[in-house]
Structure 1
Amino acid sequence: MRRPFITLLAANALSVTGTMLCVLAVPWFVLETTGSAGLTGLAAFATTLPVVVSAAFGGTLVDRLGFRRSSVASDLISGVVVLAVPLLAQREGLSYPALLGLLFLRWLAATPGETARKAMLPELAALGGVRIERAAAAYDGIYRGAAMVGAPLAGVLIAWLGTGALLVVDGLTFLLSAFLVAGLPSTTGAARGGRDGYLRGLRAGLAFLWRDRLQLSATAMIVVVNMLDTGVTQVLLALYARDVAAGPRAFGLLAGAVAAGALAGTVAYAAAGDRLPRRLTYGVAFLLAGVPRVLVLALGAPLPVAVAVALASGFAAGAINPILCVLQYDRIPPPLRARVIGAMSAASYAAMPVGGLLAGSLTELAGLGAALAAFTCVYFLVSLPPFVGRVWRELDRRG
Structure 2
Amino acid sequence: MKRPALSALLLAQGTALLGTRLSMIAVPWLVLTELGDPIWAGVVAFAEIAPYVVAKAAGGPLIDRLSARRVSVWTDLASVAALAAVPLLYGLGVLTPLLLVPLMALVGTLRGPADAAKYAMVPSVAEAADVPLTRVTGLISGIERLSGLVGAGLAAGLVALIGPANALAVNAGLVGLAALVVAVGLPGLGRPEPDDSGEGYLAQLRGGWRFLRADGTLLAITMMVAVTNLLDQGMAVVLQPLWAQGAGGVAYLGASQVCFGVGALCGSLVAAGWAERVPRLRTYAIGFFLIGLPRFALFVVPLPIWTLFVGLAIGGFAAGFINPIVSAIIFERVPRRLVGRVSSLFTAIAWSLMPLGGLAAGALVQGAGLTAAFLALGAAYFAATMVPFLVPGFRRMDARAAEAEVEKLERAA
Question: Shorter-chain-normalised TM-score: which range?
Answer: 0.7 to 0.9
Highest Rg: 1 or 2? 2
1:286 to 285, 288, 297: 288
CA distance in 2, matches of 1:160, 1:298: 37
TM-score normalized by the length of structure 2: 0.85
Q: Report the AA paired with residue 140 of structure 1.
A: S
- Residue number in structure 2 paired with 1:119: 120
Count of paired positions:
397
1:334 to 336, 356, 359: 336
User: Secondary structure of the equivalent of 2:324?
Assistant: helix
Seen in structure 2, the aligned counterparts of structure 1 residues 360 and 164 have a Cα distance that, compared at 3 Å, is farther
* Deviation sequence 1:143-184 (CA, Å, 0-9, x none): 222222212333344455543343232222111101111103
Deviation at 1:139, TM superposition (A): 1.7
Seen in structure 2, the aligned counterparts of structure 1 residues 376 and 45 have a Cα distance that, compared at 3 Å, is farther
CA distance in 2, matches of 1:301, 1:162: 39
* Deviation sequence 1:84-111 (CA, Å, 0-9, x none): 2233234325333433322221111011
CA contact (8 A) 1:291 1:379 kept: yes
Deviation at 1:189, TM superposition (A): 4.3
Moved more, 360-369 or 273-282: 360-369
CA distance in 2, matches of 1:244, 1:106: 36
User: Secondary structure of the equivalent of 1:279?
Assistant: helix
Taking only aligned residues, the RMSD between alpha carbons, in angstroms, comes to: 2.9
Deviation at 1:263, TM superposition (A): 1.3
Deviation at 1:339, TM superposition (A): 0.6
CA contact (8 A) 2:8 2:186 kept: no
Moved more, 235-244 or 213-222: 235-244
CA distance in 2, matches of 1:329, 1:98: 40
Seen in structure 2, the aligned counterparts of structure 1 residues 341 and 367 have a Cα distance that, compared at 3 Å, is same
Moved more, 267-276 or 250-259: 250-259
- Residue number in structure 1 paired with 2:61: 60
Q: Which consecutive unaligned segments of at least 5 residues does structure 2 have?
A: 402-413
2:212 to 184, 209, 214: 209
- Residue number in structure 1 paired with 2:235: 232
- Residue number in structure 1 paired with 2:405: none
* Deviation sequence 1:256-312 (CA, Å, 0-9, x none): 433321110012223332332211110010121243444434569887665444322
Seen in structure 2, the aligned counterparts of structure 1 residues 205 and 104 have a Cα distance that, compared at 3 Å, is same
- Residue number in structure 2 paired with 1:394: 396
- Residue number in structure 2 paired with 1:151: 152
CA contact (8 A) 2:193 2:336 kept: no
- Residue number in structure 1 paired with 2:249: 246
Seen in structure 2, the aligned counterparts of structure 1 residues 292 and 45 have a Cα distance that, compared at 3 Å, is farther
* Deviation sequence 1:196-235 (CA, Å, 0-9, x none): 4443222111111111111111100111122233333345
CA contact (8 A) 1:41 1:234 kept: no
* Deviation sequence 1:51-91 (CA, Å, 0-9, x none): 22112211011122211111111212223222322332343
Moved more, 318-327 or 292-301: 292-301
Q: Report the AA paired with residue 350 of structure 1.
A: S
CA distance in 1, matches of 2:336, 2:191: 12
- Counterpart check, 1:85 vs 2:93: no
Percent of residue pairs bearing the same amino acid type: 36
Deviation at 1:6, TM superposition (A): 0.7
Seen in structure 2, the aligned counterparts of structure 1 residues 166 and 258 have a Cα distance that, compared at 3 Å, is farther
Seen in structure 2, the aligned counterparts of structure 1 residues 166 and 213 have a Cα distance that, compared at 3 Å, is same
Q: Report the AA paired with residue 165 of structure 2.
A: G
Moved more, 61-70 or 23-32: 23-32
TM-score normalized by the length of structure 1: 0.88
User: Secondary structure of the equivalent of 1:396?
Assistant: coil
User: Secondary structure of the equivalent of 1:100?
Assistant: helix
- Residue number in structure 1 paired with 2:11: 10
